[in-house]
Structure 1
């Protein structure tokens, strides 16, 4: 073993020092690998915050965007909530393709909600 700072890949060579990779890298929550021997499915999570001009607009948008039926049979979990004038959306799925489809559908609906909100103007101006 060579002393720190010298030899191939050391700081004196202009390269970053080589550090051995750990055998397991914990997931986002710091979880350890399951010891049951079964590999767990990877879960994909996507979150998005959409600001509105008022709390009322965010509530109306949330009510308009809440899914009325699940075309994927529960494969994609969707959560919508309002904090002040911000609509928060969160998706969770094991299949990245279904997750993508769900997000695209949401963004399409969101664009229609935003267009209607702009056409109608602020709620207090009506």
Structure 2
């Protein structure tokens, strides 16, 4: 008997007021690698004004921890954007 475990997958799409703010968020969040190298991966990209995040994890618990951590960082990035205002062209 062959048992193939499928990873837990989660996707999140976060809209921003503009594509430049979405790119700033990507630049702020992308450098943070997963602390645990094995069992989890995270991909980020931007399409127009939408930040896309996709996780794959071997265990639901690891996926939950990674998503929670990401959302905390995202909140900090958005609060910082609100504090400093839109980027100056």
Please confirm whether the aligned pair reaches a TM-score higher than 0.5, indicating the same fold: yes
Residue 52 of structure 2 corresponds to which residue in structure 1? 88
Q: CA deviation at 1:69?
A: 3.2
* 1:42 equivalent in structure 2: 6
Post-superposition CA distance 1:10-59 (Å, at most 9, x none): xxxxxxxxxxxxxxxxxxxxxxxxxxx21111311100000111111101
For the aligned residue pairs, the C-alpha RMSD in angstroms reads 1.4
Comparing both structures, which one devotes a greater share of its residues to helix?
A: 2
Report the equivalent of 2:17.
Answer: 53
Is the partner of 1:122 in helix, strand or coil? coil
Which contiguous aligned blocks of 4+ residues in structure 1 show a shift greater than 4 angstroms? none
Name which one, 1 or 2, has greater alpha-carbon Rg: 1
Q: 2:26 aligns with which of 58, 62, 65?
A: 62
Gaps of 5+ in 1: 1-36
Deviations 1:58-84 (A, max 9, x none): 011011111433311231110000000
More RCO (CA 8 Å, sep 6+)? 2
Give aligned pairs, total. Answer: 89
Question: Taking structure 1 as the reference length, what is the TM-score of the superposition?
Answer: 0.66
Structure 2: give runs of 5+ residues left out of the alignment.
none
